[in-house]
Chains A and B, each alone.
Chain A
Amino acid sequence: MKNEALNQAARPCVFTRLSRVAPYIATAAITALGMMFLASVPAKAAGNVELKHAEWSFDAPFGTFDRSQLRRGYKVYKEVCAACHSMNLVNFRNLAQEGGPEFSEAQVKALAAEYEIEDGPDEYGDMFMRAREPKDPMPAPFANENAARASNGGAYPPDFSVIVKARSGGADYIYSLLTGYEEPPQGFPMSPGMNYNAYFGGHQIAMANPLFDEIVEYEDGTPMTVDQYARDVAAFLTWASEPKLEARHQMGFQVMVFLAVLAGLLYFAGRKLWADKH
């Protein structure tokens, strides 16, 4: 049974009438704003202090890592941080991978060969030491947690493999912490062996200030300041935590464009289809 009035109606339907889509647009806008709010709340350290924010090359939707910054950051990690902090999930081969510091295969081989690792058992059943290869993990400074605590006044220097994801504020937190060593305020009750840091929860951190100007030699003319070291190592640790970040950003763009075009096609297909139904 056909209803002529209905079929002639050929009236713009849900797809075109703004008043009908308004609630969805409003909801989408509220959701988007809510999410942005979630994402943009200034990151606070545990002590409820607002963190310093640095401009990171990898932050934006198209953001990538700065290769030379990652290489400098690795140097800071290797010469300063690695004395206490392990990086058990990062292998030397990762340093050559696309989207990272992108050292050459030969450079990575040489970097790895600076350290030894226990291997075996050999054909006689004995363990032996050999030079590290790209497939091997970065060397850990301590044999186990107890050894680490014994050497650090009871404190345990955390592993750095995912440290940027494991701290709210991420790279900003690392950067703030490393540049946040100050004289304690007058009268502040410091525990023995602790150091005052403006950004650490409770302001007392077992780690002594690790960075000083010119402590690491940069060969590319980048200023050798605490601030620069802190930025570089924070960028390097971000890569270590998210080694696939560049691939993710790149695929994200393709997916977004695909979905937007698909949504447009579906919108017009739907509009044509429903034209005689409403």
Chain B
Amino acid sequence: MSHEITYTPSNAFTRWLDERLPIMGLAHHMLEYPTPRNLNYWWTFGGILTFCLLTQIVTGIILVMHYTPHVDLAFNSVEHIMRDVNYGWLIRYVHANGASMFFLAVYIHMFRGLYYGSYKAPREVLWILGVIIYLLMMAAAFMGYVLPWGQMSFWGATVITNLFGAIPLVGDAIREWLWGGFAVGNPTLQRFFSLHYLIPFIILGVVVLHIWALHVPGNNNPLGISVKDEQDTVSFHPYMTVKDALGLTVFLLLFAYFVFYNPNVLGHADNYIEADPLQTPPHIVPEWYLLPFYAILRAITFDIGPIDSKLGGVIAMFGSIAILFVLPWLDTSKVRSARFRPLFRQFFFLFVVVCLGLGWAGGQSPDRTIFTSSEVIGTYESAGEADAAIAEAVSQTDATADMFKKHDVIEDGVYGVEVERVDYAFDVASLSLVLTILYFAYFLILLPLLGLIEKTKPLPESISKAVLAEKDA
């Protein structure tokens, strides 16, 4: 339902302004905007996200006043902010943890949309604009992480830009174009800085469109049924502003905990080591909010026809985001809210577990075993003796050399090399593959199918009736 603007200018100045630019009418609409009366606290994350975006922009603008985007100066300029700029530590920790809080809020916001079917007609454009914002956020966050020019900045940038090298024919050219040279270097840092400053303002623009696309059909709600008349709604102000303010304040308590008491726990210690192109860190991992996609990227360890494993991983990773754009047409159910979709509801929670599992897998070394069927064949005094034992085992049995693993062991002050024959191992890479398949299956198989076979519960007649019925119960 579209909402008529009912603003009438009350004095000569506002009448004059309204004829030229009806901005007062717009503000009036924003405050009067009818929202379903049954919105719960999951709906406060839109406001929280707006706050996060503005916080990042304001703190970012101040940081830029003191930061120097140059490979020789960037690392120390960040520490200069931490040490010598008045409240620089506060501004930088808010900005760095703000990125994490932004993603925490956006994930809750997106899962809320998935649960209550907020992506379905007539809100497809609203959802797609949201996915565009999410993509832009990932680009901004990735480039922002490069700016302190620590080890993870440098090597993260190297890994991600190398992904583009997997594209057939033009990959190498694109990669050099991104780098501005033949490796990640000063031109890369400077263009990432430029784009990192630009993208938030593009996000701001798309957020305006996102809110516009929200105000045309109006909010979805926990029941997923459309608003019928005035009894179903309350005006945005003061009802929702108070609710949003409470949600935001509780969210800020968590935000403040990280900023003031644990500001570096969400980052990686290696990023406090200045970038060194000659020294690769043992584990290159992205920030926590990109880990699920990193797991999908690494899940494809085999060639599929003409597509090699590297390109396969890149396609899977971008596909996992691209699929969100067509989600409104993959879900065939007419019922929006999971409250009335008993089967969907269970699968939704499984999907959340799959996403969390991908996040965990993305942070682990791919060859870490989860469960294994193996046998220790012996412990030897040195690596050489262990190799000899492996060679002997290979010659006598049908085991191959790559089935054997060596570990250093120290027991009671004596060093030894333990040799293990691994008959079967389910490692993080295999888990990532299983979870990646489940991720895609949710969108490509489950959602189209569920809408056809699921028996949904009866929908209430209207929002106000449902609210009253709940009161009587």
Contact = CB atoms under 8 A, between A and B. Distances in A.
Interface of A: 1, 3, 5-6, 9, 11, 14, 20-21, 24, 27-28, 31-32, 35, 38-39, 46, 61, 89, 94, 158, 161-162, 165-168, 183-189, 201, 241, 243-244, 247-249, 251-253, 255-256, 259-260, 262-263, 266-267, 269-270, 273-274, 277-278
A273 B79 contact: no
A37 to B, nearest CB: 11
A166 B278 CA distance: 18
A6 B269 contact: no
Contact of A11 (B93, B231, B260, B471): B471
Contact of A263 (B250, B262, B383, B414): B250
B242 A188 contact: no
Interface in B237-278: 238-239, 242-243, 245-246, 249-250, 252-254, 256-266, 269-270, 272-273
A255 B249 contact: no
A39 B249 contact: no
Contact of B260 (A38, A166, A187, A248): A248
Contact of B41 (A14, A31, A184, A252): A14
Interface of B: 37, 40-41, 76, 79, 82-83, 89-90, 93, 104, 108, 229-231, 234, 238-239, 242-243, 245-246, 249-250, 252-254, 256-266, 269-270, 272-273, 282, 381-383, 410, 413-416, 464, 467-468, 471
Given A188-B410, A263-B249, A3 B464 contact: yes
Nearest to B151: A166
Contacts of B234: 277
A52 to B, nearest CB: 17
Contacts of B381: 187
B245 to A, nearest CB: 5
B269 A168 contact: yes
A259 B256 contact: yes
Contacts of A277: 37, 234, 239
A270 B243 contact: yes
Nearest to A20: B40
Contacts of B249: 259, 262-263, 266
A268 to B, nearest CB: 10
A251 B467 CA distance: 43
B382 A248 contact: no
Given A14-B40, A263-B250, A162 B272 contact: yes
A188 B242 CA distance: 66
A166 B269 CA distance: 5
A57 to B, nearest CB: 15
Nearest to B416: A187
Contacts of A256: 253, 256-257, 260
Given A167-B269, A185-B414, A270-B243, A255 B260 contact: yes
A267 B248 CA distance: 12
6 contacts: A3-B464, A21-B41, A162-B272, A184-B415, A256-B260, A277-B234
A249 B252 CA distance: 16
Contact of A6 (B254, B257, B464): B464
A244 B381 CA distance: 50
B456 to A, nearest CB: 21
B410 A185 contact: yes
- The 6 A-B residue pairs whose C-beta atoms are closest, nearest first, are A252-B260, A166-B272, A188-B415, A266-B246, A185-B415, A165-B272
A27 B264 CA distance: 23
A9 B415 contact: no
Contact of B37 (A27, A162, A244, A278): A278
A263 B246 contact: yes
B253 A263 contact: yes
A160 to B, nearest CB: 12
A22 to B, nearest CB: 11
Given A3-B231, A9-B468, A189 B41 contact: no
Contacts of B246: 263, 266-267, 270
Contact of A186 (B40, B270, B414): B414
A190 to B, nearest CB: 10
Contacts of A248: 89-90, 93, 260, 263
B467 A278 contact: yes
A32 B262 CA distance: 13
A248 B88 CA distance: 11
A32 B383 CA distance: 45
Contacts of A31: 104, 254
B250 A269 contact: no
Given A35-B258, A89-B79, A167-B269, 11 more contacts: A3-B231, A21-B41, A94-B83, A165-B272, A166-B270, A187-B414, A244-B82, A248-B90, A259-B253, A263-B253, A278-B471
Nearest to A249: B260
Nearest to A248: B260
Nearest to B75: A162
A276 B463 CA distance: 16
A99 to B, nearest CB: 11
A23 to B, nearest CB: 8
Contact of B79 (A161, A247, A253): A161
B158 to A, nearest CB: 19
Contacts of A183: 413
B253 A186 contact: no
Contacts of A255: 256, 260
B180 to A, nearest CB: 26
A269 B83 contact: no
B341 to A, nearest CB: 17
A202 to B, nearest CB: 9
A269 B416 contact: no
